[in-house]
Amino acid sequence: MAEMSDVFFVDGMRTPFGRAGEKGMYWNTRADDLAVKAIIGLMERNPEVPKDRIDDVAIAATSQTGDQGLTLGRSAAILAGLPMTVPGFAIDRMCAGAMTSVTTMAGSIGFGMYDLAIAGGVEHMGRHPIGSNADPNPRFVAEKMVDPGALNMGVTAERLHDRFPQLTKERADRFGMLSQQKAQAAYDAGKIQPDLVTVAIKNADGAWGLATEDEGRRPETTMEGLASLKTPFRPHGRVTAGTSSPLTDGATMGLLASGDAVKQLGLAPKMRLVSFAFAGVEPEIMGIGPIPSTEKALQKAGLTIDDIGLFELNEAFAVQVISLLDHFGVADDDPRVNQWGGAIALGHPLAASGVRLMIQLAAQFAERPDVRYGLTAMCVGLGQGGSVVWENPHYTGKKKK
């Protein structure tokens, strides 16, 4: 009988994120190749992990079609040079795809069935726009299960502003501006680049180049500029391009291990998984999903929000993040939150984003031995939220000087 095990996030790497569409750097790059590059980078950085010991590869994508289909975990594992004995599968929970890849593999490790697993996600929103080839059941609307606007993420963000008048456009604009500034400051300080794997890219003229950093950043963003942006989801609305994550291409991968594997292979894990939870909410206001999922995850961990020393919250929309902060009594500009900026600046390749949050939290843990617990959380289309609580293995209990 297998014994229950601790689950560790050993390491994570990702491709730089590119703007989706014909002008984006990955327009001529296959989705599965992005996933493959992230796996290769991750395994090259962890040579002490025998490739044949990987028990499974779980890769998420929201639009599982074309070069983003064909049981991604298995096909990418083969293309990345893992032994044919390593199995793999695909997963879909829209924006929380990679997060669900991690929690699913964590369940298998925790139950003692797996020792080592790769979990991640990829989204090529240029080749596979959100909702492409989707055919929502007409009963959703005909039987009034959900409002038609529930299938448009921007409309759901506008509804958060409606429902919670204290979540003003100005607060959202300021949060969006700070995301851009924090992301650029993190780049300038060399915080983000170590976890990026370089990708060879080909432009429209057939010339080759290298993708080395996230393409969509706008550090020059100002409050005045944000105030004048159009509101594409509603006339005179409050959600703009400046307070939304851009359409993005990219892939992320994480390496998970059991306590036994960590000891046997002499690994130095970056985080220990404490608890996780997913929750459902009304699809019309999907952005509040991380509130109940975070409450559940904290309850399972026996912790409160005050125990969380670092937050990595996915910025699908600024209003969605500040709704969670408001609920838990955390200030919009609390220094614990998204220290290096978030998806508004870096991009949100739907199913890949969950592991980006983990990569950034892991890097911050290494700098902060005074912080014991961190949270990664995100909202999910059709009214869901996902949250994972992590423990810092570098924690000493001593305050940072």
97 with 60: CB under 8 angstroms?
A: yes
Which entry of 95, 124, 128, 161 is annotated as an active-site residue? 95
CA neighbor of 161 nearest in space, from 104, 236, 257: 236
Judge contact between 102 and 388, C-beta under 8 A: yes
Q: Is 95 a catalytic residue?
A: yes
Q: Rounded to 10 degrees, what is the CA torsion of 230, 236, 240, 244?
A: -160
Q: How many secondary structure helices (H) and strands (E) does the chain include?
A: 12, 12
* Among 128, 327, 379, 394, the one annotated catalytic: 379
Of 28, 203, 253, the residue nearest 124 (C-alpha): 28
Q: Is 117 helix (H, G, I), strand (E, B) or coil?
A: strand
E strands, 242-307, in order:
248-258, 271-280
User: Is 124 marked active-site?
Assistant: no
Instruction: Reply yes or no on whether 394 is catalytic.
Output: no
Instruction: Give me the residues paired with residue 14 across strands.
Output: 196, 252
Tell me which of 124, 236, 348, 394 is the catalytic residue: 348
Per residue, the 3-state secondary structure of 18-82, as one string, reads: EECCCCCCCCCCCHHHHHHHHHHHHHHHCCCCCHHHCCEEEEECCCCCHHHCCCHHHHHHHHCCC
Contact 115, 53 (CB under 8 A): yes
Question: How far separated are the first and last CA of the chain, in Å rounded?
Answer: 47
Q: How far apart are CA 201 and CA 207, in angstroms?
A: 8
Angle 247-57-360 (CA atoms, 0-180°, nearest 5)? Answer: 50
Q: Give the sign of the dihedral formed by CA 5, CA 9, CA 10, CA 13.
A: positive
Q: Which of 81, 130, 97, 181 is nearest to 353 (CA)?
A: 97
Q: List residues with catalytic annotation.
A: 95, 348, 379
